[in-house]
Amino acid sequence: MALRIPTAARNAAIDAVVDLLDAGAGAATIEVRTGSQPATANDAATGTVLATFTLADPAFGSASSGVATLASTPRSTTGVAAGTAGWFRAKDSNGNTVFDGAVGTSGAELNLNTLTISVGVNVEITSGTMTMPAG
């Protein structure tokens, strides 16, 4: 038998995770980094920070069908280093890691307008989601 989670529980679980981003006095951030994502979100961040986005506060809307969507997209910032985006790390305003994930231009947890980031050039989050599987 497989473990299955009803929609109400999926929504509550993912809302609890994304609500951790709103801890602290300020808005959460997302760092876009080069290289490969660490094995777990408990591991130290790897790669070079290419860009840091400041999120809306609250960062995500309420979940629906187990999916929470990043609020107020698109969001823009400028590159602080040059390179190819490999992954992202989301942190609360106190700098605590909440989660990390894949970047892409479509179909990823965090979608950017480009994966090639340059110093001083605008880069944009076009969309972002967190999903709690049904099982």
Note whether residue 54 is domain-resident. Answer: yes
Note whether residue 12 is domain-resident. Answer: yes
Note whether residue 1 is domain-resident. Answer: no
Task: Find the angle CA(69)-CA(72)-CA(75) to the nearest 5 degrees.
Answer: 110
Q: DSSP states of 74-110 as a string?
A: SEEEEBSS-EE--EEEEE-TTS-EEEEE-EESSSSSE
Name the domain count of the chain: 1
Q: What is the pLDDT of residues 77-132, one digit of tens each?
A: 999 999 999 999 999 999 999 999 999 999 999 999 999 999 999 999 999 999 99
Note whether residue 41 is domain-resident. Answer: yes
Quote the pLDDT of residue 41: 96
Note whether residue 42 is domain-resident. Answer: yes
